[in-house]
Structure formats: structure tokens, C-alpha cells
Chains A and B, each alone.
Chain A
């Protein structure tokens, strides 16, 4: 099983709303990632969690707040977003070895976020 699931599939929110994106994997992967993808562009790394600890924050604005409650779950809390934050948000996971990622990174289907 190489499945990463994400909910919701689509999300529309106003600039004053608070919402959360959820990601789950049951492959035993200990690294989990959040990416943002704009149309016709490659995924851009936002955050990396390794063993439930934040390893990388790519200078993401504080209106995006990641959380890793356990080894299978990854959340992205959203607050006071801007219209330019509208994008496809992708979750991914991979195995960990020697302090870094090892082997394939598997992606979820993404959450299409629209900020009005």
C-alpha cells in the first residue's frame, strides 16, 4: 500500500476563516511533507516533519501552521490567508534513514484551496 490520503479534496475559505488540511499515511513512513503547487509549476516545499518533529520550514508565513500529532497524521492549520495562497496543497511521505529521506516520496491527491 503506497497511499497517502488528504482531506478535504476542495476547500473554499474567506480571508478571516480558520481551517485545517489533513493528511494520513499508513506506510510506516517517518518523514512527512507539505508542498504548495501553483498551476503549471512544480511543487514547492513548505514543511518537513521527521519523527514527528519539524525539520524544515522553508520560510513559510505564520498564517500556515503545521502539526504532526503522530507518525501517521499531518495537519496544516490555515488562518488569515490571502487570495494568493490559493493553490493545490500536497502532502507526501517517505522513509527516513541516516538523518534524511530515503527512497521514494509518495504524494497524496492534494487539497485544492481557494481563498476568497
Chain B
């Protein structure tokens, strides 16, 4: 089946630096993408989303970039803080379906 994968299973960044978490997806029909943050023992928390008619979307300290040509998604976190330490999942959805396809996850570690 089709799946979403991540290039880096663990990312360590210095507090205050910017973080970039990458994700590759394989379904060319996917048209909606979400980034989730999951802290230990908690459910995934929505961070930011983007539709396929956009290539960039910004939130508070976070930016999602979408490159449909190479089927790549990235999450940029500005001025990374200790509270950003978590596992980050990307997920994609094809309109008309209910199956969100999740990536394997990247653990972000923020070093003091």
C-alpha cells in the first residue's frame, strides 16, 4: 500500500535554533496534509495543515511547505523551545476518503 515516510527518525536541535522536519508522501492523489505533534502519553495534537492548492502556509512559529512535484512536505519550527520536544507526524488525505496516511514519525529533541 501507499505510505508516508520521514527521512530522519530523530532530530536534535539547540534551543533557539530553527528546526526542519521532513516528510515524503507517495500518493499523488493526496490533496490535504496535516502535521501533528505527539507528546509522551498523549494523543496527537494538530499543529498546522495545508491543501494541495498551496505551497506554503504559516502559523505561529511554524511553517509548512508543500512540494507536489517531488511529493515532499516539511515543517519548520522557528526558535525551537524545550516544549517543542515531541514526536511529529505528517499525515495526508485524499478527498472523498477517510483514510489519513501517517508517516513513521520524527522525534524532535531540543537541547538546552
Contacts and interface: CB of A to CB of B under 8 A. Distances in A.
Contacts, number: 64
A79 B98 CA distance: 26
Nearest to A94: B98
- Summarize A's interface: helix, strand, loop or mixed: strand
A112 B93 contact: no
Contacts of A109: 42-43
A43 B87 CA distance: 12
B83 interface: no
Nearest to B100: A105
A56 B103 CA distance: 20
Nearest to B96: A100
Interface residues of B, number: 25
Contacts of A112: 41
A105 B97 CA distance: 13
Interface string B22-61: 0000000000101010000111111001000000000000
B95 A90 contact: no
A79 to B, nearest CB: 24
A100 B44 contact: no
A56 B102 contact: no
A56 B7 CA distance: 30
